[in-house]
Amino acid sequence: MSQDLRRDTVEQPDTGLHSKGLSTGTVGVLGLVVIGISCIAPAYTLTAGLGATVSEVGTQLPAILLAGFIPMLLVALGYRELNNAMPDSGTSFTWATRAFGPMIGWMGGWGLIAATVIVLSNLAAVAVDFFYILIAQLTGNQAIAELTDNLWVNIPTTLAFIAAAAYISYRGLNATKVFQYILVGFQVSVLLLFAVMAFTNSTPFDRTPITLDMFNPASVDSFSAFAAGISLSIFVFWGWDVTLTMNEETTDPNKVPGRGATWTVLLIIALYLAVSLGVLYWAGVGETGLGAGNEANQESIFAVLSGPIMGPLAILMSLAILSSSAASLQSTMVSPARTLLAMGYYKALPPSFAKISPRFMSPSVATIVSAAAAAVFYVVTRLISENALWDTITALGLMICFYYGLTALACVWYFRGELFTNVRNFFFKFLAPLVGGVVLLVMFFSTAVESMNPDYGSGSAIGNVGMVFILGVGVLLLGVAIMLFTRVRHPAFFKGETIKTR
């Protein structure tokens, strides 16, 4: 027909994608601190991570928290370099693939997916615990808080939380600025209130004086305890590095990211020290009663301690933890979904993973798969482990060490041609990521070997092998199996056809 009548134009510059639309240059230092703290979700990380860390390092808790930040900082510096060099791909999967080739790149992506899926199941479980605790506090009926121990109640509720979070992220609904400010402000205030009340409480359970030795990492009993403590404290800082990767969103890319990252970490360390010292001072590390060394208290420290310390105000703590874990549940759901999407897009997974919902502009298959994986992981852990929360957090620390370590080394290898051209490159592209990456991988192997011991973590075991080992290493081996399967079925990615390696 009269095809020549038609004038088609596709306006490319109007997409606003490469400039990220409206978000350019709107975030100042305060905004960045809020974003950083909301990613860390301190109320959630403390309740989930503090007890498990105490079980490893006892009164050296403050020391290990401080020490744990160092590898995180070193790796984050490497992340920032990779992010600046490849801003459009922004994930461990593509970075590691470009540096080390498809196989290791695939495992880097898998490590990130596994870590986020594990944290999703833990976030949901913590949210559910505090959901019931909050209802119990509101109604004054203590029996409701114990409902969470009933698997027939706990598992369906947790699955409902995961499904709701998946639905919200599939619909592409996002937290707004006001919401984040309120959430972060509330969390920080409640945690500080907890610390103040712990120190001013007239009847501490086991008053333990604060000593300088608590800040000395060398006083930790053994190297394995130190390694396990570090891998757990990586978890409590997980999220901080986001402040370093924000550039174009800030009002002044030269100053804001650095200042924002510094303020975030100073604030968060101060908060962590205040709370952990408060816990040690009030509860001690005794293994009976309310002691922080009591295994029964370690899976969720605030669930046990906020009542005795804060009295009726404990309800604020429940609210802070519930809101921070529910909000993180939703925002974290996006992460594995997008990595799965990227892997599908670059043909490292079956192409259906690359589907994007045309209505909501979000990954469709990948979101459902992430939620289903988190649900399955939770149900399996809950059914076979005596202490699911604890074991998942320990397995999570393992997984974070794995993919962070790998990504940090990817940074060194990716920039291998320019490492020694100037002092800046030497420090940020070579020394920092190399030391950080090696430290984390050492922590990974040390903790993995240690976790084979059936007494490790909560003490659950299958066939005389520790539960944490089975969870952590099992998930990685599952990844290897899926990778080999994909390699046979969809070889394009593994032949280097979709992502060019350097």
Partner 1 sequence: MKLLVGYTADQRGAEAIELAAALVQGTLSPSLVIAIVLPASTPFSTVYPGGDHGFDSILSAKVDEWAAHALNQVPAGVTVRVVARSVPSVAEGLMELAEDSGAHGIVLGGRKRHRAGFFMPGGVANALLHASSVSVIMSSPQALASLRAAQGRITRMTAFVGDRPGAREVIASAARFATARGVDLRVATLVADSDVSDPATELNQHLVRTRKFLTELTDSMGLQASVEVVSGQSLDEAIESLEWIDGEFAILGSARLAATRRLFIGPKAQRILRQLNVPMAVVPN
Residue ranges binding partner 1 (CB under 8 A)? 1-3, 5-12, 14-18, 20-23, 26-27, 31, 34-35, 38-39, 83, 88-94, 112, 115-116, 172, 174-177, 179-180, 238-239, 241-242, 245-246, 249, 328, 331-332, 334-335, 338-339, 341-342, 345, 354, 356, 358-361, 363
Supply the DSSP string of 154-186, one letter for each residue.
Answer: HHHHHHHHHHHHHHHHHTT----HHHHHHHHHH
Helix (H) / strand (E) element for 465: namely strand 465-466
Decide whether 175 or 270 has the Cβ nearer to partner 1: 175
Nearer to partner 1, 194 or 377 (CB): 377
User: Residue 292 to residues 59, 191, 193, 218, 371: CA-CA distances in angstroms?
Assistant: 10, 17, 19, 21, 33
Q: Are 166 and 333 in contact (CB under 8 A)?
A: yes
CB of residue 397 vs partner 1: minimum separation in angstroms?
14
Cβ 330 to partner 1 shortest distance, Å? 10
CB of 331 to partner 1, least distance (A): 6
* CB closer to partner 1 out of 208 and 243: 243
Nearer to partner 1, 216 or 251 (CB): 251
Per the structure block, which two tokens stand in for 332?
């974290």
CA distance 29 to 36: 10
Question: What's the CA gap between 436 and 409, in Å, rounded?
Answer: 9
Q: How far is the CB of 162 from partner 1 (least distance, A)?
A: 17
Radius of gyration of the chain (CA): 23
- Minimum Å gap between C-beta 5 and partner 1 is 5
Tokens for 442, please give them. 């050492």
Instruction: Tell me how far, at minimum, the Cβ of 424 lies from partner 1, in Å.
Output: 22
**Residue 185 C-beta: closest distance to partner 1, Å:** 14
d(CA 286, CA 46): 19
Number of neighbours of residue 465 by Cβ within 10 angstroms: 16
Tell me the closest approach of the beta carbon of residue 349 to partner 1, in angstroms.
Answer: 13
Question: Which C-beta is closer to partner 1: that of 5 or that of 423?
Answer: 5
Minimal distance, residue 128 CB to partner 1, in Å = 21
Cβ proximity to partner 1, 233 vs 298, nearer residue: 233
Query: Residue 6 CB, nearest distance to partner 1 (Å)?
Result: 5
CB of 93 to partner 1, least distance (A): 8
Q: What is the DSSP letter of 27?
A: B
Which pair of structure tokens corresponds to residue 357?
A: 């919902």
Q: Which is nearer to partner 1, 225 or 368 (CB)?
A: 368
Looking at the Cβ atoms of 359 and 502, the one nearer to partner 1 is 359
Based on CB atoms, which residue is closest to partner 1, 184 or 214? 184
CA distance linking residue 306 with residue 422, whole number of Å: 52
- Shortest Å, Cβ 489 to partner 1: 21
Distances (CA, A) of 376 to 21, 156, 167: 37, 12, 17
Residues 6+ apart with CB under 8 A from 206: 282, 283, 284, 286, 289, 290, 291
E strand or H helix at 462: strand 461-462
Give DSSP secondary structure letters for 404-433.
Answer: HHHHHHHHHHHTGGGTTSSHHHIIIIIIHH
Taking the least distance from each CB to partner 1, the nearer of 156 and 351 is: 351
* 88 vs 455, beta carbon nearer partner 1: 88
Distance, C-alpha 351 to centroid of its chain? 27
The residues near 361 (Cβ < 8 Å, ≥ 6 apart) are 172
* Residues 213/280, Cβ–Cβ less than 8 Å: no
Q: Closer CB to partner 1, residue 89 or residue 219?
A: 89
**Residue 248: CB partners within 8 Å, gap ≥ 6?**
19, 20, 24, 25
Closest CB 415 distance from partner 1, rounded Å = 18
How far apart are the two ends of the chain, measured CA to CA in Å? 48
CB closer to partner 1, 383 vs 492:
492
CB distance 208 to 280 below 8 Å: yes
Cα dihedral 110, 115, 121, 123 in deg (nearest 10): -150
